[in-house]
Structure 1
Amino acid sequence: MTAEAKPKASRQRATWKQDPEAVKADILRVAREEFAAHGLSGARAQEIASRTKTSKRMIFYYFKDKESLYREVLEQAYRDVRNGEKALELENLDPVAALRKLVSYTFDHHRQNEDFIRLVMIENIHRGSHVAASETIKAGNSPAVEQLQEILERGMQQGIFRSDINPLQLHWKISGLCFFNVSNESTFSVIFGNEIATQEGQIALRDDVVHTIVNSVLV
């Protein structure tokens, strides 16, 4: 090792020891970008190491192997969505306002987090195998349907929501509309123009998606 490399290696070891959680968080942040851009097979641990100023050895010290790192990136991505939903405090709103706020949040979150959409698309290429292997993802996402069920039940009790609405199906509809907006933006814009992709177009589309979902459950 050269004299110049020794101080650098020493500084890296000091960072790992002083704030290992910050190092781990940085690895996850960069890995999320790399996996979203290149997929599981295309992402390179060496590139993640270079961008985080760590090493492949340190990455695999924290995450065992590339697939384990990818799975933890997925877990964090889903956790971020669910934590955002919890922070909405929908239980304090009337049912219609709660549903409108939830759909708006989902639309905006997906629009502002293209890497999440790409990660989900990549995981579907893998037939959901890594999600299936993660109890964290499966357990962490059940509150999304439970939250909708609570909103629907309050609306039904007030006589403003239909009694035959399935919360899982409603979650599917919300996810489908908001997901497609990002996942298919490139091809949709090439074929039909980018009117919908403009800021004004997105605002109008979000309002229409919210209106569509809310009207679908009203009596």
Structure 2
Amino acid sequence: MAPKAAKPEAQSGVRTQDPEGTRHNIIEVASEEFALNGLSGARIDEIAARTRSSKRMIYYYFGDKEGLYLAVLENAYRKVREGEAKLDIGGLSPLDALRRLVEFTFEHHHKHEDFIRMVMIENIHHAEYLEKSKVIRQLNVTAIGTIETLYERGVAEGLFRPGLDPIELHWQISALCFFNVSNRATFSKLFGRDLSAPKVQAALKRNSVDMVLRYIVRPEKLPTE
């Protein structure tokens, strides 16, 4: 009888009694590696070294480099959607819920620059890998559903302008918050102002909320200072 193939951790000399923890650790480290170097520039050897695992173990969990990249991309989207789910904006007024959603998106993107870089990298690949993921599509259905429900409540109460598209609203909120991270370095250098400074970021967040409110809310319903 032929001997059984050894598990990857046994062959690499690395023992793990927590497969899910190991998988999560690999994804976290790989997120930094892919965000910094892109899909083509990321090195599995570097990820293995930083996680004290082996290339064989990584391939055991994720199949290949592209499989790991897709898992990282899914995890990035999962984090932002899980954060949105925890907002519990259903109990807020439509105006307060909209304000909180924009604030959360701005804060999340500011704190998770790797997410912004991963989205930029995926756009370079024309969303080739995102298209393969049922997980990401389902996560974003939930995101649009949240905005749609919020928007419909606001319209029903006579607070929001009718006839707006929830997907376009998501686009516009994302655009303001995404650009704050993706182009902050270039804007800072071009115009000689540190846009990463806490006071500047606080002002940009307030202005982003104000711009979204002024677009969606009926002018006569806008809050006054």
Corresponding letter in the other structure for 1:115: D
CA contact (8 A) 2:84 2:101 kept: yes
Which residue of structure 2 aligns with residue 142 of structure 1?
141
Residue 73 of structure 2 corresponds to which residue in structure 1?
A: 74
CA distance in 1, matches of 2:39, 2:137: 20
4+ runs of 1 displaced by more than 3 Å? Answer: 7-10
- CA 9–123 in structure 1, closer or farther in 2 if over 3 Å, else same: closer
TM-superposition CA deviations, 1:145-167 (whole Å, max 9, x none): 11111111111111111111211
TM-score norm. by structure 2 comes to: 0.90
One-letter identity of the residue aligned with 1:202: Q
Cα distance in 2 between the residues matched to 1:72 and 1:8: 24
Name 2:208's counterpart in structure 1. 209
| Percentage of identical aligned residues | 50
Cα deviation, residue 8, structure 1: 11
CA–CA distance in structure 2, aligned partners of residues 93 and 108 of structure 1: 19
Counterpart of 1:38 in structure 2 is 37
**Where does residue 84 of structure 2 map in the other structure?**
85
Report the Cα distance in structure 2 between the residues aligned to 1:9 and 1:178, rounded to whole angstroms. 43
Deviation at 1:194, TM superposition (A): 2.6
Unpaired stretches in structure 1, ≥5 consecutive residues: 1-6
Q: What's 1:121 paired with? A: 120
Matched residues in 2 for 1:193 and 1:139: separation?
42
TM-aligned CA deviation for residue 215 of structure 1: 1.5
Deviation at 1:195, TM superposition (A): 3.8
TM-score where L is the length of structure 1:
0.93
* Shift, 1:196, TM fit: 2.8
Shift of 1:186: 1.1
Alpha-carbon distance, 1:216 to partner: 0.8
- Structure 1 distance, partners of 2:93, 2:23, is 40
Superposition map of 1:1-219 within 5 A: 10=13, 12-13=14-15, 15=16, 18-219=17-218
Bigger drift between 192-201 and 161-170 goes to: 192-201
* Contiguous gaps of at least 5 residues in structure 2: 1-9, 219-225
CA distance in 2 between counterparts of 1:8 and 1:26 reads 19
| Cα pair 2:155 2:162 within 8 Å, conserved | yes
- SS of equivalent to 1:54: coil
| Range 94-103 or range 163-172, more displaced | 163-172
CA–CA separation in structure 2 for the residues paired with 1:49 and 1:97: 45
Distance in 1 (CA, whole Å) between partners of 2:20 and 2:33 is 20
* Contact 2:106 2:205 survives alignment (8 Å): yes
1:129 partner SS:
coil
